[in-house]
Chain A
Amino acid sequence: MADAALFEFLHTEMVAELWARAPDPSPGGQKTSLSVLEGMGFRVGQALGERLPRETLAFREEQPPKEVPALGGRVLDCPLTLQIGDHWDQRGGAVGSCSRPPPHPQWYTALCPQGTYILQDNDFPLLVRMAAGPQYLEEAPKFLAFTCGLLRGTLSTLGIKSLVTASVTTLPACKFQVVIQRA
Chain B
Amino acid sequence: MAVCIAVIAKENYLLYIRSIPTENELKFHYMVHTSLNVVDEKISALGKALVDQRELSPSLLYPTEDHNVYGYVTNSKVEFVMVVDLSNKALRVNEICSMFRKLHNSYTDVMCNPFYNPGDCIHSRAFDSTVTSMMTQVC
Contact = CB atoms under 8 A, between A and B. Distances in A.
Interface of A: 43, 46-47, 49-52, 54-58, 61-62, 64, 157-159
A54 B75 contact: yes
Contact of B51 (A47, A58, A157, A158): A58
Contacts of B48: 62
Interface of B: 10, 46-48, 50-52, 54-56, 74-77, 107-108, 111-112, 114, 118
A49 B56 contact: no
Contacts of B52: 54-55, 58
A51 B75 CA distance: 9
Contacts of A50: 74-76, 107-108, 111-112
A56 B74 CA distance: 11
A64 B48 CA distance: 9
A19 to B, nearest CB: 22
State the main secondary structure of chain A at its contact with B. Answer: helix
Given A58-B55, A61-B51, A64-B47, A157 B76 contact: yes
Nearest to B55: A54
A158 B76 contact: yes
A158 B50 contact: no
Nearest to B107: A50
A54 to B, nearest CB: 4
A61 B51 CA distance: 8
B104 to A, nearest CB: 8
15 contacts: A43-B114, A47-B111, A50-B76, A50-B108, A51-B108, A51-B112, A54-B74, A54-B75, A57-B55, A58-B54, A61-B46, A62-B47, A62-B48, A64-B47, A158-B76
